[in-house]
Amino acid sequence: MNQVHSHKVGLVFGGLLAIWHAIWALMVLIGIAKPFLDWIFGLHFLNIQYGINPFAFGNALMLVVVTGIIGYLMGYVLGWLWNLAHRTAHTQQ
């Protein structure tokens, strides 16, 4: 297996999480978040009482930025661990 660029893996994971949460914020904005969660919970045989707060642009922006940063860090660490395991595997051969 080849080594990976930890930075690129971080960008992919960070981008994926940021996009996922941007879609969630859009769902809250257009009012389909609660029906979507009701459907997801129903698939898991769950009936949970909860509420969705009104959309706030500042919260949505922070959600996307924070999850993007967390995703980047997770991806970077994953890439670093992948390369570490790859290096270790080659030295043992």
Q: Distance of CA 20 to CAs 34, 55, 64, 74, Å?
A: 16, 16, 8, 15
Other beta carbons within 10 angstroms of residue 12's beta carbon come to: 16
Instruction: Quote the pLDDT of residue 87.
Output: 82
Q: Is the pLDDT of residue 30 over 70?
A: yes
Q: Where are the domains of the chain?
A: 6-91
Tokens representing 40 are 């997801």
Q: Is the pLDDT of residue 32 over 80?
A: yes
- Render pLDDT for 50-79 as a digit per residue (tens, 0 to 9): 999 999 999 999 999 999 999 999 999 999
Q: Is the pLDDT of residue 1 over 70?
A: no
Q: Distance of CA 87 to CAs 6, 19, 74, 75, 78, Å?
A: 14, 32, 20, 18, 14
pTM value is 0.85
